[in-house]
Chain A
Amino acid sequence: MSSNLAIAMHVAKKELRVQIGYRNKFIADVLSHVIGIVPILLITLALSGSSLNDIDGITRANALFVFLGYAAFMAFGFGTPIMIYTGMAWGISEELQTGTIERNFLAPVSRHTIVAGIGIYYACLYAFHVTTLMILAFFLFPSTAEIPVGNLAVAGTAALGLIALSAGLGLSSAAMFLMIRDGSLFLLFVHRPFMILSGAIFLIELLPGPLKLIALVNPVAYGVDAFRWAFSGHGTLEDPWLEVGIVWAGALVAAIVGVIVLGRVIRRQSRTGELSRI
């Protein structure tokens, strides 16, 4: 039997083909992160008080701060309309509606592998978002061009850690989707809080006390901070490599929890018949 990874990659490739089939949505998925950053940058400019043809140093520093935070958060997955559900749950919601998820579950491969395969497609999409934003940064903020290799390693592992964290949470969000057949709650209760409490677009220091505490147990915050440190030299939380470790630890926990939760939900729904309603 082929390895689980090979099967998951195969599922991911299928997902890419299917998504390309929905052409307009696919184009939005691929490009909207670039459009998404425009209002955030404009708000930053406006709040910093510079005009567009006369940007001062402080504004530039603020804009870079926000840009890097946003780019890092893209790794966690927020750049596209799909994020209403977080990637995997989106894929699953579509397959539930079309009826193909049942057909997939008839194959002699682990059902987690099928779900994870859908997740790989989205992970690649997020990696693409981060990469393209960093290419954009190269032109917008020429200073990011001369970065030591060690810093790049921090940025890379931080971004990959955030993607892994997103995939782990994706398993739980897929499970949640199966249970309530709606992903918007996930957006409301998980994704937005993760965004606001991550320091992606403003300093965690600026949050009210209790929220600051919550933000400090959010692994995404450390990933964002490490990523930003790598390109700007400014970090606010811990040593960058320690931060990378925290992100990966979070990713591991999320993956374990996700595997267990999804397994339970699938089993439960095999009993109630909800899994095979079509």
Chain B
Amino acid sequence: MIEVKNLRKEFKQNRADAGLLRMLFGRVPSETVTALEDVTFNVEEGEFYSLLGRNGAGKTTTIKVICTLLLADSGTVTVGGHDVERESSSVRAMLGVSIRGERSVYWRLSGRQNLAYFGRLYDVKGAALRNRIEEIGEIVGLSERLDDYVERYSMGMKQRLAIGCALIHRPRVLLLDEPTIGLDAASARDFRDFISHELRARENVTILYTTHYMHEAEEMSDRIGIVNHGRIVAEGTPSKIIGMVPGNSVVTIDAKNAVNIDLSTLSALDSIERVHAESLDSGSSKIRIEAVVGTEVPVADVVHRLTSLGAEIGNLSVSRPTLEDAFLRLTAD
């Protein structure tokens, strides 16, 4: 649905540290910043694709090129087969976009007037528009506040209104740049539920998403692209990304009567890499069992062996490498 091929974008930025006289009369020294080095990825129809990357990695720049606000230096982008430069109007008609949410709505208008204004720009009008506005009010949880001036909304409400404006024309493709920024935990969860249950399950909307919240990306994405310095450095399902970094699943057990147990009986189990135990002051032991990379500790077997050797199991906790671990490794300089 979205095809991005060899996208490259440089920005010329004037330096702010030149002397005043030089800035006035001389040539202002500028430097070229390469925002996108070479970005290539595809988002399939109905897919949820997240771009993750550090600040300044190039996520927003990529989205701006796709939504036709920014022209790339080279490379091609098509949305639903339409080229973003040559058929920009058709592309814009298919897209629902939210970038810099709360700044993109009119604060001097009410929520309803904003929705009506943007709806009409997308050719939604009359009764259909009025009904859609009510629906959107429900979806983004602003029904009660639709007739208030946006000025009086909280930041999260403005953000929600911006998302509402992006949805008003039932776009087939959504580009959402950090849409849950500023949303409280409950609203963010509602929004994610709405995306999964309504937009994806019912309407098969294609979504390109950026976020700095790893749990969101992990929960919702079919695939994730990790952007670093203007390149996609890793791509795949969340579990594939997590599997890309060395780091293994670890089980920690607090056990009594375990001081004299021969740990090699545990090491002998399949997919166990290392076992380590230490005695605690209380007389019990803390046993740490690491799995071979890419596998899981066979918890049931471990517990069975320990109890059959006379140990009494107290606390047991399992920790796995997270998307955050992978993200930090993949975007490290």
Contact = CB atoms under 8 A, between A and B. Distances in A.
Interface of A: 1-2, 7, 10, 14, 17-18, 21-22, 98-100, 102-110, 267, 270-273, 275-276, 278
Contacts of B103: 98-100, 278
B326 interface: no
B109 A103 contact: no
Interface in B152-170: 165
Interface residues of B, number: 33
Contacts of B90: 108
Contact of B100 (A14, A22, A110, A278): A278
A1 B165 CA distance: 19
A7 B121 contact: yes
Interface stretch (B112-120, B221-229, B290-298): B112-120
Nearest to A14: B117
B2 to A, nearest CB: 16
Contacts of A110: 89
Contacts of B117: 10, 14
B181 interface: no
A273 B100 CA distance: 15
A61 B125 CA distance: 53
B34 interface: no
Contacts of B67: 106
A17 B108 CA distance: 8
Contact of A276 (B69, B108, B113): B69
Given A108-B93, A267-B71, A276-B69, A103 B108 contact: no
B97 interface: yes
A107 B121 CA distance: 6
Contacts of A7: 120-121
Contacts of A10: 117, 120-121
Contacts of A276: 64, 69-70
Contacts of A278: 100, 103
Nearest to B72: A271
Interface string B95-116: 1010110011111110001000
B64 A103 contact: no
A100 B106 contact: yes
A17 B69 contact: no
Contacts of A105: 68-69
B95 to A, nearest CB: 7
B123 interface: yes
B108 A102 contact: no
Given A102-B99, A276-B64, 5 more contacts: A14-B106, A98-B103, A102-B69, A106-B69, A272-B11
B123 A273 contact: no
Nearest to B91: A108
Contacts of B113: 14, 17
Given A17-B113, A273-B11, A275-B69, A106 B106 contact: no
B22 interface: no
A14 B104 contact: no
B12 interface: yes
Contacts of A267: 71
A90 to B, nearest CB: 15
Interface string B5-26: 0000001100000000000000
A165 B93 CA distance: 32
B172 interface: no
Given A1-B123, A22-B108, A276-B69, A107 B100 contact: no
Give me the 3 closest cross-chain CB pairs, A-B, nearest first.
A21-B108, A99-B103, A107-B121
A107 B122 contact: yes
B92 interface: yes
A109 B121 contact: yes
Contacts of A2: 120, 123, 125
B12 A272 contact: yes
A107 B95 CA distance: 9
A100 B105 contact: yes
A103 B165 contact: yes
B106 A18 contact: yes
B71 A270 contact: yes
B62 to A, nearest CB: 13
A104 B109 contact: no
Contact of A273 (B70, B104, B106, B122): B70
A106 B108 contact: no
A90 B165 CA distance: 25
14 contacts: A17-B113, A18-B109, A98-B107, A99-B103, A100-B105, A103-B104, A104-B121, A106-B95, A108-B90, A108-B92, A108-B123, A109-B89, A110-B89, A270-B69
B185 to A, nearest CB: 27
B106 A98 contact: yes
Nearest to B166: A106
Contacts of A103: 104-105, 118, 165
B9 to A, nearest CB: 8
Contacts of B125: 2
A18 to B, nearest CB: 5
Contacts of B93: 108
A115 to B, nearest CB: 13
